[in-house]
């Protein structure tokens, strides 16, 4: 879990208007903070969220 | 996250102890008061043993009693049991979860040999379901709430706080711990792991286009080189900062003592000169003695010689003393009427003259001869005796001059000694000045290197940018890997955002730590308007600046001031990081005098409104000044942990 409010504030500020990116980074950071294995999780999250954004981009268009 | 209660069984002094830490809406402040040796520090050890399996606050593990309470061991033996069990349970709440950490060990009642301990974590979620974790999984669970490597920031011994910023302390360890607590390391690890995923995507794409592979490899090499350069620059800049800190500390130590080194040199030169003059003085005194010996006879005989010389001189003046004439020869010549020397005939006139000569010399010829003989010696003796005064005066003049110079130098040395002895560390000053010069040289050399490396870094970054552009172009060419490209771009974009967060967070955590620590320190410290601001370097080496002189002055702070500064730093760390856990402090104000504890009490009450605080005091430390403020805010107070003849330990609330 990300407890440091500064990190959460920065993340919000840097991903303003990009909800997918915000969710993706928060997800992999939370995984990291819980000390869990990263490789498999990161790959699946990249694929999941990149696809989600691609789909969302398509919808937007 | 907070401690709800602790149950201790058969652990060292504690045969059976349960301590609860209930929470109110207002504060979360808990106090344990116990005399030295009753077990305050062992409560800290019990917590550490339960959570991490060690006892860091034990004096010497190899030379300590068995972990099991000895009464419990005796009772078990009497009951015919082979083992007595030691157990510590910590019940915590974290959000909606309740967690119990429990460690047990069996101790053989005969051999007192400790078996392997057993550790488990019971996690009950909001639905009431309980998971039981054991071994490594239980350790992982502890690390999630109270990470082992940063435990010194929530369980600590106040008596060691004054050493917190000591010279020997490795501040880079402080930086790592702070990054851990503030979760900067989480951001860093996320970025690094994402970079590895990005490399995997690049490799996958490279398989479809060899040019991409080559470019990726070239970029990776350049990035490694750049990382090395950045590491070098960081190390050099860190070294420069450390040298600046050393110079600043040395300046404080040397301040006002620069002249002492010169004074000390002058003092030693004077001592050498005085020693030389004393040798000269001895030589002159020896000369005087030789002179006296030399002139002793002459001086004793001076009156006799002087009157004899006067007498002879007078007789000569009167012509009473004849010239050196042999009367016998005259008489012989008269008898032969012929000169016995030239054989000329003596006529009547000559005969008359010779007879008149014989008559004229009316004194004894022998006396006359003797007087003539000693005349020159007597005159020389009188003359030499007169030189004595002159020679003696010359020696006396030298002795007086030497004595005066010794006196002047001794007076000067008395003054110099006063100044030198006022400085307690004269022997170190020379060394400090040498060290200061060495550090100045080091800064100059390192600064030159940093300049060169930064130029190389700029060039390298430019090369990487160029290669990256070529790589992007090459990837663009591959039509087959659209999906991979999209994932790669997405991950690369995320990595850039995370890297930006990381950079900003590192800088802001440090800035906030500086300002929070200063604010808290000003609340805690009894001296107002003395300290101006705090600076933390990249490795979190702390410097405290004097308000008036704006000079770094941590080295001049008392142990009590350093203790309060460390406490301020720790609380600031909890605030800035948002790390949700308790603070357990053993002997929090041991070095702070009674009158100055009021600020401490007021500040900690404020802290306890947002964080659980458990403070273990000695009775004298828990003074009126603290009680005055704490009594209204303390939620639970264990004021007597009594050890009766070391037989049993109970709590009184």
One domain for residues B354 and B369: no
d(CA B204, CA B187): 26
Instruction: Name the residue range of residue B337's domain.
Output: 326-360
d(CA B243, CA B23): 48
One domain for residues B274 and B343: no
φ/ψ bin of B115: left (φ > 0), alpha (ψ from -120 to 50), beta (otherwise):
beta
d(CA B149, CA B172): 14
d(CA B496, CA B502): 10
The answer to whether B448 and B179 have CB atoms below 8 angstroms apart is no
Q: How far is CA B335 from each of CA B12, B343, B349, B360, B547, rounded to the nearest angstrom?
A: 144, 13, 15, 19, 127
From first CA to last CA, the distance across chain B in angstroms is 24
One domain for residues B412 and B388: yes
Nearest-10 crossing angle of helices B184-206, B210-254:
160
Select from B194, B487, B505 the Cβ nearest to the Cβ of A6.
B505
Q: Which of B652, B610, B647 is nearest to B28 (CA)?
A: B610
One domain for residues B284 and B340: no
Does any domain span residue B288?
yes
One domain for residues B306 and B333: no
> Which residues of chain B are modeled with pLDDT < 70?
59-63, 159-173, 258, 319-325, 361-366, 424-427, 477-480, 594-595, 636-637, 639-653
Pair of tokens at residue B450: 């940093």
Q: How many Å lie between the alpha carbon of A7 and the closest alpha carbon of chain B?
A: 7
Q: How many Å lie between the alpha carbon of A21 and the closest alpha carbon of chain B?
A: 7
Tell me, yes or no, if B487 comes closer than 8 A to chain A by beta carbon.
yes
One domain for residues B330 and B415: no
Please state whether beta strands B583-586 and B155-157 pair in parallel, antiparallel, or not at all (unpaired).
parallel
- Signed CA dihedral, B427, B430, B433, B434: sign only: negative
Tell me, yes or no, if B149 comes closer than 8 A to chain A by beta carbon.
no
One domain for residues B310 and B367: yes
C-beta atoms of B578 and A6 within 8 A: yes
Pair of tokens at residue B72: 């419990």
Q: Which residues in A lie closer than 8 A to residue B508 (C-beta atoms)?
A: 6
Pair of tokens at residue A35: 């000390």
What is the phi/psi pair of residue B512, to 5°?
-65, -35
Tell me, yes or no, if B509 comes closer than 8 A to chain A by beta carbon.
yes
d(CA B497, CA A21): 9
d(CA B80, CA B78): 5
C-beta atoms of A39 and B186 within 8 A: no
Q: Which residues in A lie closer than 8 A to residue B579 (C-beta atoms)?
A: 3-4
- Residues B368-396 pLDDT 10s: 777 777 888 888 888 888 888 888 999 99
Does any domain span residue B102?
no
Q: Which residues in B lie closer than 8 A to residue A29 (C-beta atoms)?
A: 186-187, 190, 498
One domain for residues B389 and B416: yes
From first CA to last CA, the distance across chain A in angstroms is 35
In the prediction, which pLDDT does B159 show?
67
d(CA B275, CA B300): 37
- The residue from B380, B407, B422 where one domain ends is B422
d(CA B138, CA B136): 5
In the prediction, which pLDDT does B104 show?
95
d(CA A15, CA A11): 6
In the prediction, which pLDDT does B649 show?
42
Specify the number of domains making up chain B. 2
Q: Which residues in B lie closer than 8 A to residue A35 (C-beta atoms)?
A: 140, 143-144
What is the phi/psi pair of residue B542, to 5°?
-90, 135
Continuous H helices in B160-209: 171-181, 184-206
- Signed CA dihedral, B434, B437, B443, B445: sign only: negative
Does any domain span residue B344?
yes
In the prediction, which pLDDT does B7 show?
94
In the prediction, which pLDDT does B60 show?
62
In the prediction, which pLDDT does B566 show?
84
Does any domain span residue B283?
yes
Does any domain span residue B8?
no
C-beta atoms of A32 and B186 within 8 A: yes
In the prediction, which pLDDT does B364 show?
55
C-beta atoms of B490 and A49 within 8 A: yes
Q: How many Å lie between the alpha carbon of A44 and the closest alpha carbon of chain B?
A: 10
- Mutation site for B-interface testing, chosen from A1, A5, A7 by largest number of B Cβ within 10 Å: A7
C-beta atoms of B194 and A28 within 8 A: yes
User: Nearest-CA residue of chain B relative to A34?
Assistant: B144
Q: Which of B587, B651, B652, B583 is nearest to B618 (CA)?
A: B587
One domain for residues B297 and B385: yes
Tell me, yes or no, if B404 comes closer than 8 A to chain A by beta carbon.
no
In the prediction, which pLDDT does B405 show?
94
d(CA B572, CA B519): 9
> How much is the average pLDDT of A48-54?
90
Q: Which residues in B lie closer than 8 A to residue A38 (C-beta atoms)?
A: 189, 193
Does A52 score more than 80 pLDDT?
yes
Q: Which residues in A lie closer than 8 A to residue B194 (C-beta atoms)?
A: 28, 42
User: Nearest-CA residue of chain A relative to B198?
Assistant: A43
- Residues B338-352 pLDDT 10s: 888 888 888 888 888
Please state whether beta strands B648-652 and B97-108 pair in parallel, antiparallel, or not at all (unpaired).
unpaired
One domain for residues B315 and B351: no
DSSP characters over A1-61? ----HHHHHHHHHHTTT-HHHHHHHHHHHHHHHTT---HHHHHHHHHHHHHHHHHHHHHH-
Touching B: A residues 19-58, CB under 8 Å:
21, 24-25, 28-29, 32-35, 38-39, 42-43, 46-47, 49-50, 53-54
Q: Which residues in B lie closer than 8 A to residue A7 (C-beta atoms)?
A: 183, 186-187, 501, 505
Does A58 score more than 60 pLDDT?
no
Q: How far is CA B4 from each of CA B18, B151, B334, B642, rounded to the nearest angstrom?
A: 11, 18, 156, 22
Q: How far is CA B445 from each of CA B52, B247, B451, rounded to the nearest angstrom?
A: 45, 15, 10
Does any domain span residue B456?
no
Does any domain span residue B267?
yes
C-beta atoms of B578 and A38 within 8 A: no
Does any domain span residue B133?
no
User: Nearest-CA residue of chain B relative to A30?
Assistant: B186
What SS3 state is found at B24?
coil
Q: How far is CA B514 from each of CA A25, B86, B307, rounded to the nearest angstrom?
A: 29, 44, 102
Decide: residue B522, CB within 10 A, 0-12 exposed, 13-18 middle, 19+ buried: middle
Residue pointed to by tokens 């690890």: B189
Q: How many Å lie between the alpha carbon of A45 and the closest alpha carbon of chain B?
A: 10
Select from A6, A21, A43 the Cβ nearest to the Cβ of B509.
A6
User: Nearest-CA residue of chain A relative to B492?
Assistant: A46
One domain for residues B355 and B368: no
User: Nearest-CA residue of chain B relative to A43?
Assistant: B197
- Mutation site for B-interface testing, chosen from A35, A50, A57, A58 by largest number of B Cβ within 10 Å: A50
C-beta atoms of A25 and B498 within 8 A: yes
d(CA B245, CA B267): 32
- Mutation site for A-interface testing, chosen from B1, B186, B482, B578 by largest number of A Cβ within 10 Å: B186
Tell me, yes or no, if B501 comes closer than 8 A to chain A by beta carbon.
yes
């Amino acid at each position: 879990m990300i407890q440091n409010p500064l990190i959460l504030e920065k993340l919000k500020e840097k991903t303003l208007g990009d909800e997918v990116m915000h969710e993706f980074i928060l997800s992999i950071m939370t995984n990291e903070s819980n000390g869990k294995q990263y490789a498999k999780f990161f790959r699946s999250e990249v694929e999941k969220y990149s696809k989600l954004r691609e789909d969302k981009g398509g919808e937007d268009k | 996250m907070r401690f709800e209660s602790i149950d201790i069984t058969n652990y060292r002094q504690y045969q059976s102890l349960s301590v609860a830490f209930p929470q109110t809406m207002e504060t979360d402040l808990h106090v344990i008061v116990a005399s030295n040796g009753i077990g305050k520090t062992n409560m800290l050890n019990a917590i550490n043993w339960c959570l991490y399996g060690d006892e860091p606050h034990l004096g010497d593990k190899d030379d300590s009693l068995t972990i099991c309470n000895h009464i419990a061991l005796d009772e078990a033996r009497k009951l015919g049991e082979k083992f007595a069990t030691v157990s510590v349970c910590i019940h915590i709440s974290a959000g909606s979860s309740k967690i119990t950490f429990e460690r047990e060990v069996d101790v053989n009642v005969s051999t007192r040999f400790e078996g392997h301990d057993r550790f488990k974590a019971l996690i009950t979620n909001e639905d009431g379901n309980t998971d039981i974790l054991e071994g490594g999984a239980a350790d992982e669970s502890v690390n999630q709430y109270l990470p082992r490597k940063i435990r010194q920031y929530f369980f600590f011994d106040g008596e060691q706080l004054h050493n917190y910023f000591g010279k020997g302390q490795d501040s880079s360890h402080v930086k790592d711990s702070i990054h851990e607590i503030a979760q900067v390391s989480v951001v860093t690890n996320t970025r690094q792991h994402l970079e590895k995923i990005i490399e995997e995507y690049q490799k996958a794409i490279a398989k479809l286009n060899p040019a991409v592979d080559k470019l990726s490899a070239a970029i990776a090499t350049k990035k490694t080189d750049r990382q090395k350069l950045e590491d070098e620059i960081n190390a050099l800049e860190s070294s420069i900062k450390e040298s600046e800190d050393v110079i600043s500390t040395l300046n404080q130590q040397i301040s006002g003592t620069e002249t002492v080194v010169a004074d000390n040199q002058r003092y030693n030169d004077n001592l050498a000169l005085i020693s030389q003059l004393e040798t000269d003085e001895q030589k002159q005194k020896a000369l005087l003695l030789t002179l006296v010996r030399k002139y002793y006879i002459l001086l004793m005989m001076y009156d006799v010689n002087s009157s004899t010389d006067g007498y002879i001189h007078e007789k000569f003046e009167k012509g009473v003393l004849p010239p050196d004439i042999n009367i016998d020869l005259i008489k012989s010549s008269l008898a032969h009427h012929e000169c016995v020397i030239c054989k000329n005939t003596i006529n009547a006139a000559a005969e008359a003259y010779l007879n008149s000569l014989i008559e004229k010399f009316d004194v004894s010829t022998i006396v006359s001869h003797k007087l003539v003989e000693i005349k020159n010696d007597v005159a020389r003796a009188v003359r030499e005796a007169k030189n004595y005064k002159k020679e003696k005066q010359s020696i006396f003049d030298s002795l007086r001059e030497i004595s005066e110079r010794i006196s002047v130098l001794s007076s000067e040395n008395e003054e110099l000694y006063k100044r030198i002895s006022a400085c307690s560390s004269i022997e170190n000053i020379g060394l400090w000045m040498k060290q200061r010069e060495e550090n100045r040289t080091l800064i100059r050399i390192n600064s030159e290197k940093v300049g060169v490396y930064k130029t190389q870094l700029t060039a390298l970054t430019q090369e990487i940018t160029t290669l990256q552009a070529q790589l992007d172009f090459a990837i663009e060419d591959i039509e087959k890997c659209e999906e991979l490209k999209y994932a790669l771009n997405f991950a690369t974009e995320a990595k850039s955002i995370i890297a930006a967060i990381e950079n900003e967070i590192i800088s802001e955590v440090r800035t906030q730590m500086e300002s929070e620590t200063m604010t808290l320190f000003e609340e805690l410290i009894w001296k107002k308007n003395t300290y101006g601001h705090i600076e933390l370097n990249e490795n979190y080496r702390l410097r405290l600046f004097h308000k008036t002189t704006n000079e770094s002055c941590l080295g001049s702070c008392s142990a009590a001031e350093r203790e309060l500064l460390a406490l301020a730093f720790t609380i600031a760390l909890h605030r800035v990081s948002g790390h949700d856990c308790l603070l357990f402090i053993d002997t929090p104000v041991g070095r702070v005098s009674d009158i100055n504890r009021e600020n401490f009490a007021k500040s900690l009450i404020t802290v306890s409104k947002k964080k659980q605080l458990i403070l273990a005091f000695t009775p004298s430390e828990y003074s009126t000044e603290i009680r005055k403020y704490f009594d209204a805010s303390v939620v639970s107070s264990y004021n007597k942990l009594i050890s009766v003849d070391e037989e049993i330990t109970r709590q009184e609330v």
